[in-house]
Amino acid sequence: MSDLAAALDVVGARWALLVVERLLDGPQRYGDLQRDLGVPTNMLATRLRELEAAGVLTRLPLRHNTRAYALTDRGLALREAIVALARWGAEQA
Amino acid sequence: MSDLAAALDVVGARWALLVVERLLDGPQRYGDLQRDLGVPTNMLATRLRELEAAGVLTRLPLRHNTRAYALTDRGLALREAIVALARWGAEQA
DNA sequence: GGGCGACACTTGCAAAATGCAAGTGCAACG
DNA sequence: CGTTGCACTTGCATTTTGCAAGTGTCGCCC
């Protein structure tokens, strides 16, 4: 499997890169991600589980039953790729 | 819609970026893409149609009933993003 | 000129991913 | 002790993906 295929195995699923992009601005809570991205709640829960298992993000416990999601170093390392893709997307206008 | 979401609308589907990556080495024929990538034939046909419609690649007619697929300038502009993603994928080893 | 193989697909259907809407559990607040 | 906010889960419809087999066209060979 190529390096690109390996990357897509982790962040190639729908919404995955958008979630990571949102977290580049700092830790976010579940409800914030949901509202900002417009992602279906079950998909968001699934992606967060997968991305956590892949070591891309971690859960930060906050008060009582709330938590925030934050990128790990591996997640932060996606910044370059995300910026490059977003720049390409911007050129389509 | 964010720039990243716009990009993913075009190249976010399964196999799309892998097809583009393969074409970065130069024009390829249908059968070559199929064998090299291991992509199901109906998916390949669908992706090639979509990527052509999006202006990412074009068909080059060859002899009789054969053709090759080549990246347009817009397709070539994906090189940076693909390299960045592949590099990230390689770091997972 | 009829059969054969290569090439580029299409078609039919099963399996998996995605999306929508409603429901669950739990802690704090009043 | 009922209500509210948050973080999910669950059930089911829709869409996407995948597998396998079939179609059409052209050139080649006998």
Tell me the sheet residues that pair with B59.
Answer: B69
Is A38 an interface residue toward B (CB < 8 Å)? no
Q: How confident is the model at residue B93 (pLDDT cuts 50, 70, 90)?
A: low
Q: Is the pLDDT of residue A19 over 70?
A: yes
Query: Residues B33, B36, B39, B40: what is their CA dihedral angle, to the nearest 10 degrees?
Result: 80
For residue A63, what pLDDT is reported? Answer: 83
Query: Residues A36, A41, A43, A47: what is their CA dihedral angle, to the nearest 10 degrees?
Result: 70
Residues 6+ apart with CB under 8 A from A43: A14, A15
ipTM of the complex: 0.90
- Determine if strand D comes within 7 Å of the CB of A42: yes
Structure-token pair, residue B20: 């583009």
For chain A, give the secondary structure using H, E and C. CCHHHHHHHHHCCCCHHHHHHHHCCCCEEHHHHHHHHCCCHHHHHHHHHHHHHCCCEEEEECCCCCEEEEECHHHHCCHHHHHHHHHHHHCCC
Query: Which of B's residues 38-77 have CB atoms within 7 A of nucleic strand C?
Result: 41-42, 45, 48-49, 59, 62, 65-68
Cβ separation B7–A92 shorter than 8 A:
yes
CA of B42 to C1' of C13 (A): 13
Can you list the domains of chain A with their CATH numbers? Answer: 3-90 (1.10.10.10)
For residue A1, what pLDDT is reported? Answer: 85
- Determine if strand C comes within 7 Å of the CB of A61: no
Enumerate the residues of chain B whose CB falls inside 8 A of the CB of residue A3: 86-87, 89-90
